[in-house]
């Protein structure tokens, strides 16, 4: 009887959230699909239907191709850095070393900062005139290494990638640490009795039992890389053909170029990328679930 009464409360409790989701997410997404088929400028009421012309234009747009290449770079560069580092720190913190509190502060403090604060901080570090990085290089006699770090694509992309990893590392460490703490200690003891050393315990016990966590984090990183905007926009404002990504190019096309139709087409491409890559990652990383 009580369960039946509780079930009656499900819809009333969910309804406000569903309405908010419908108004602020579902309807704008549907509108974006519609606008992508028009030449709407965003400042007039006229919305001329142009079919797939915006998508044809996008596939021949060199700036968009650069933006996609930059997204690929951020995805691969961040993946190579953030996953080994976050897993390493999680394994270290699981052992609760004497310096655990200091290490936690160093790792988790950046996650408490807003994206704008992080962008301003790293923008000042990379400042070519008074930035900490160039000043440090001059102080240690490596003045020939100083450069405008955000002015060249070869230096700007890794520089921003490091800032992205710095801010996001704590989140991945927390999730890895949560996964590690779920693994029963008896598994390690059994492996140790079988003669497994620390590396074998990690490779044969910890990593396989963390596979579901790894899969989720890879999907999260892919989504973050494709949707990257705020950090890059505040640091460089996209700086065309250097650090441009889909989010920044979409902004400039829609609000500065007064081409909401074309910007919406890029939004649809971003949606398709996120969906396609997420499904691909889930497919490639699918494996039999290990219950414990």
Our separate counts of H helices and E strands in the chain read 16, 0
Provide CB contacts within 8 A for 227, sequence distance 6+.
Answer: 246, 247, 270, 274
144 part of a folded domain: yes
Q: How far apart are CA 129 and CA 39, in angstroms?
A: 43
Structural domains in the chain (count): 1
pLDDT digits (tens, 9 = 90+) for 107-161: 999 988 888 899 999 999 998 888 899 999 888 888 888 888 888 878 888 999 9
pLDDT digits (tens, 9 = 90+) for 186-196: 888 788 887 77
62 part of a folded domain: no
Q: How far apart are CA 149 and CA 289, in angstroms?
A: 45
220 part of a folded domain: yes
Q: 121: buried, middle or exposed (CB in 10 Å: 19+, 13-18, 0-12)? A: middle
174 part of a folded domain: yes
Q: Which of 152, 150, 155, 172 is nearest to 79 (CA)?
A: 172
Q: What is the mean pLDDT of residues 213-242?
A: 84
Q: What is the mean pLDDT of residues 276-284?
A: 88
Range of 174's domain? 69-284
Domain containing 174 — which CATH number?
1.10.3720.10
**What's this model's pTM, rounded to 2 decimal places?**
0.84
36 part of a folded domain: no
268 part of a folded domain: yes
Cβ–Cβ < 8 Å for 103, 92: yes
pLDDT digits (tens, 9 = 90+) for 26-37: 888 888 899 999
**7 SS3 class:** helix
208 part of a folded domain: yes
The yes-or-no verdict on residue 2 having pLDDT over 60 is no
157 part of a folded domain: yes
């Amino acid at each position: 009887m009580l369960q039946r009464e509780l079930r009656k409360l499900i819809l009333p409790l969910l309804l406000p959230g569903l309405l908010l989701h419908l108004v602020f997410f579902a309807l704008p997404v549907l509108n974006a699909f519609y606008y992508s088929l028009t030449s709407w400028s965003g400042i007039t009421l006229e919305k001329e239907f142009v079919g797939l012309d915006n998508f044809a234009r996008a596939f021949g747009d060199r700036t968009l191709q650069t933006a996609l290449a930059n997204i690929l770079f951020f995805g691969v560069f961040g993946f190579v850095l953030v996953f080994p580092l976050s897993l390493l720190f999680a394994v270290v913190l699981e052992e609760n070393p004497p310096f655990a509190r200091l290490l936690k502060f160093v790792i988790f403090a950046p996650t408490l900062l807003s994206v704008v604060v992080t962008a301003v901080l790293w923008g000042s570090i990379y400042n070519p005139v008074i930035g900490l990085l160039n000043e440090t290089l001059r102080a240690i006699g490596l003045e020939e290494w100083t450069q405008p770090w955000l002015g060249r694509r070869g230096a700007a992309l890794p520089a921003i990638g490091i800032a992205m990893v710095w801010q996001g590392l704590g989140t991945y460490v927390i999730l890895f640490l949560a996964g590690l703490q779920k693994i029963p200690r008896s598994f390690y003891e059994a492996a140790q009795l079988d003669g497994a050393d620390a590396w074998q315990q990690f490779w044969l016990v910890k990593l396989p039992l963390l596979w579901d966590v790894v899969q989720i984090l890879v999907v999260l990183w892919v989504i973050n890389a494709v949707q990257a905007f705020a950090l890059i926009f505040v640091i460089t404002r996209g700086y065309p053909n250097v650090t441009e990504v889909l989010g920044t190019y979409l902004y400039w096309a829609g609000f500065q170029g007064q081409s909401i139709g074309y910007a919406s087409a890029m939004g649809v491409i971003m949606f398709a990328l996120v969906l396609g890559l997420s499904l691909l990652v889930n497919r490639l990383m699918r494996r039999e679930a290990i219950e414990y």
